[in-house]
Amino acid sequence: MDMNSLLESIYKNDIETNRLEKTAESKMLDELRHSEQSNNPYMEYSTDELIKMAQELQAEETFVENDSDLEKVAFDMLGGQVMAHALVHELGTMKIAMANGLCRVCKTNHMDVDGSTICSECLGE
């Protein structure tokens, strides 16, 4: 099976799912019609007025992307990735140590405290 066939089989339109979605959508719309929150404040505006408001909002948005901002984002992303890899590595070494009956903290001493996954030496620190 090639990738396209696999993706088609995963994302094909399921008739039962479509029915459930339409039922949920119609139920939600019915509840919105009967609730007090269904008043749309933009219903009184014409299409031209709505377009003008959208253009004004878009003009107000300013995206300042300078090098220092990009460097900060890149540094934060790299730091997060390093921390995630370190965590996964540490969890792996803890798992191996505990499987061998060793302390999950120091990974050298045997677990000698009942009901604990750390040794008495690490527990005392």
Residues of the chain with pLDDT > 70: what percent? 75
Q: Would you state the structure tokens that stand for residue 115, as one six-digit string?
A: 């009901």
pTM: 0.41
Same domain, 2 and 50: yes
Total structural domains in the chain? Answer: 2
Q: What is the extent of the structural domain holding 110?
A: 66-125
CA angle 112/86/124 to nearest 5° reads 25
Same domain, 74 and 51: no
Q: Cα separation of 99 and 110, whole Å?
A: 11
- For residue 90, name the pLDDT band (cuts at 50, 70, 90): very high
Same domain, 45 and 80: no
